[in-house]
Amino acid sequence: MEEEKSILKELGGWLIYILVIIGLTYLIITFVGQRTRVSGHSMETTLSDGDNLIVDKISYRFREPERFEIVVFPYQYEENTYYIKRIIGLPGETVQVADGIVYINGEPLDENYGNEPMENAGIAGELITLGSDEYFVLGDNRNHSSDSRDATVGVLKREDLLGRAWIRIWPLDEFGVIRHE
């Protein structure tokens, strides 16, 4: 009888331990970080097809997203599909692409992320004024990226931003914190 109580007590302890681990894992994945895989070439040369990343989901709860940060957001027309792009335009700014150059508030943006001059300005061929909670994003491989220039992606609302790319965990030879500047 004592042996049965001891076994039940041991099993109960293990069950509680497993439930605590599952609960903590859920909290971390929901509020702190999430693993995601880069699919496609739109962020090359910064990120490559097949890279595995940890997305920081907590920092935007305490601060606003900044220009040039790499963010992850859901694609609105396909369930369980997420895009990863670089923030170019911030709330309240005007954005336009002309002759392959990004203009913010009428001034050329000083950046070197694009691999080559943009061939297609898309909807950014016309001046876009961002609202108080809107962001304009571009892929680094601009001529091979569906981003804010594409009407199906468009400008992003603050609430759409899942988080920012934080750490590359695969491939191992490129393991490390992702630089956003």
- Measured in degrees and rounded to the nearest 5, phi and psi for residue 71 equal -120, 155
The answer to whether the CB of 42 falls within 8 A of the CB of 130 is no
Is 9 marked active-site?
no
Longest dimension (CA), the chain: 84
Per the document, the length of the chain is: 181
Tokens linked to 105: 């508030």
Catalytic: which of 57, 85, 145, 148?
Answer: 85
Strand runs (DSSP E) across 62-108, as ranges? 70-74, 82-89, 94-98, 101-104, 107-108
Q: Is 3 helix (H, G, I), strand (E, B) or coil?
A: helix
Is 42 marked active-site?
yes
Catalytic: which of 42, 57, 145, 148?
Answer: 42
Residues acting as catalytic residues: 42, 85
